[in-house]
Structure 1
Amino acid sequence: MFVVVGYIFMVVCIFGAYAAHGGHLGVLWQPSEIVIIFGGGLGAMIVAYGGTPLKAVIKALPSVFKGSKFNKKFYMDLFALMFEVLSKVRKEGLMSIEGDVEDPHSSPLFSKYPAIAHDHHVVEFITDYLRLMVGGNLNAFEIENLMDVEIETHHHEAEMPVNAITKLADGLPAFGIVAAVMGVVHTMGSLHLPPSALGQLIGAALVGTFMGILLAYGFVGPLATVLEIKVAESTRVFQTVKVTLLASLNGYAPQVAVEFGRKALESVHRPTFQELEQYVKEAKSR
């Protein structure tokens, strides 16, 4: 939503101010130069990020127009789930959650929290390390190192679309210059035309530079920033799960382990201790 609002606000301010000072908007409409700029930029991006990274870009782009699912309600569900799982472990032993870990989609614990159950990355991360806790002989230090490696790998993979869009934005001003130079070349070949016609050709050529800069810093560059924020949000979920599980592995009670995870959140998403306690009690009674 904010992406669209921002685009509209920017376009109204830039082109509105131009028109208010007597500028003719029709002069700025140069489809061939837009094709040169975007075609050149996209072609270069395909060369650099063809294959799996390009598929990741196409998959990630629609998410910039959606709000984040990692909100306060999501984290309260996550903490309630973690509390119930860890409480079951504390009361009945690690083997009691073997069925929940092996088939989380059929687990009564996971099914109570559909927002978590529908995120297969988060579910997989939780169940993988619960499985290691159940069947493995790894200590907390070894599991922490393994978690860090997986989180870093996830972050690197999720950043591929960010890097691709950033490189595209960086290249658009240069391709704008390419379009402008080509316009100047065309103008130099038309010197037999009257001054008024030459003025139109020169103006059209300069539009290439303008469009390249506008598209880069006004449209494409901000998309990379939005994607970068979303990558950080998705990584924070794994960090929160990591802190909670490690606290439990180090012998802390479920209430304290969940509190460790709560402290790992930014203030905008962090529920208060009383809010989370009340929410967990209500969730357990369902």
Structure 2
Amino acid sequence: MFAAIGLLGVFICVFGSFMIFGGKIGIILEALPGEFMTIGGAAICGFMVANSTHTIKQALGAVKRIFPGAKFHKKEYMELLSLLYQILKTMKTKGVLAIEQHIEKPLESNIFNAYPSIMKDPFTVKFIADYLRMFSIGVDNPHELEALMEQEIDKAKHEDLHSSHAFQTMADAMPALGIVAAVLGVIKTMASITEPPEVLGKLIGGALVGTFMGIFLSYCIIAPIASRLKGVAEEENQFYHVIRAAITSHLAGYAPQVSIEAARKKVPTEYMPDFNELEEALSAIS
């Protein structure tokens, strides 16, 4: 919500103040199509040159994450901790073989399906199942398993950050593209040097719109989008560190309750349930 309010506020503050203090918005609107074609078109084409097809598709898909933000909130963390507790408790009381059917076919598992918020994220389900499977086939060194999990978590974060890097690169280029558009406008103005002052003034104003648009799009629109996507990727990545903490703590020999408490400490502060709240939720699990 705040992202939408912020973007709306940018337009109101920039263009609203311009008109309130005597600016003629008509000059900007008249020059906008040509300047936007020069700046926006060049930026989009450069974006296509600089990035792979996969990154372009990923970046375009990531735009929808700007307004809702990270997909994991307190509800998802509570379900994740409850799921991990149920799995670890089953392993502790009934042995590793008791969860084999659940990790081999998690989509058909009554344990996994009891937590619909987790089932909505295929990567989370696969991540949990893969490392529990490794545990079940004999990987019993917590440090080795933790290192493997860290590698995959870092890889996922690196790939998820491609979108923000792509938009940031575009934002960095925008001011220079604005200068290109302005220079083209000056060239056009010089070709009409014999025109009366009111015509020249309009042409020069249109040329300066290019510089304005390049800076405006860079620092007020695209760079904030890049920063927002980076923050979302980093926040969502923390979800998998919670899983890592629970599984490696269990592998180190801790009781399920202790392992889940170690995982709870990895939850971002704004979403972290307090000890009693989580204890009440876990006590309801059979």
* TM norm structure 1: 0.97
Aligned equivalent of 1:18: 18
Q: 1:153 to 1:67 in 2, by over 3 A?
A: closer
Distance 1:25 1:3 in 2: 25
Aligned equivalent of 2:185: 183
Aligned AA (2:251): L
Aligned equivalent of 1:226: 228
Aligned equivalent of 1:134: 136
CA offset digits 1:236-262 (Å, max 9, x no partner): 011110011000000000000000001
Gapped runs of 5+ residues in structure 2?
none
Distance 2:139 2:268 in 1: 33
Aligned equivalent of 1:124: 126
Q: After the TM superposition, which parts of structure 1 deviate over 4 Å for at least 4 consecutive aligned residues?
A: none
Distance 1:48 1:20 in 2: 40
Aligned equivalent of 1:33: 35
Distance 1:57 1:4 in 2: 19
CA offset digits 1:193-227 (Å, max 9, x no partner): 11110010001000100011001111111111110
Distance 2:175 2:139 in 1: 55
Query: 1:138 Cα deviation (Å)?
Result: 4.4
Aligned AA (1:14): V
Instruction: Compute the RMSD of aligned alpha carbons.
Output: 1.1
Distance 1:23 1:251 in 2: 70
Identity rate, percent: 39
Distance 1:245 1:139 in 2: 11
Query: 1:3 Cα deviation (Å)?
Result: 2.1
- Three-state SS of the structure 2 residue aligned to 1:166 is helix
CA offset digits 1:64-120 (Å, max 9, x no partner): 122432111110100000000000000000111000001111111111100001111
Distance 1:138 1:173 in 2: 54
Aligned AA (1:6): G
Greater Cα offset, 53-62 or 213-222: 53-62
- Three-state SS of the structure 2 residue aligned to 1:108 is coil
Gapped runs of 5+ residues in structure 1?
none
Contact in 1 for aligned 2:71/2:236 (Cα 8 Å): no
**2:89 paired residue among 76, 87, 90:** 87
- Three-state SS of the structure 1 residue aligned to 2:66 is helix
Asked if 1:143 is matched to 2:145, the reply is yes
Contact in 1 for aligned 2:249/2:262 (Cα 8 Å): yes
Distance 1:156 1:167 in 2: 16
Distance 1:11 1:73 in 2: 34
Aligned equivalent of 1:243: 245
Contact in 1 for aligned 2:238/2:268 (Cα 8 Å): no
Aligned equivalent of 1:165: 167
- Three-state SS of the structure 1 residue aligned to 2:17 is helix
Aligned AA (1:55): K
* Residues paired across the two proteins, number: 284
Distance 1:50 1:176 in 2: 25
Aligned equivalent of 2:62: 60
Distance 1:93 1:188 in 2: 83
- Three-state SS of the structure 1 residue aligned to 2:111 is helix
- Three-state SS of the structure 2 residue aligned to 1:192 is coil
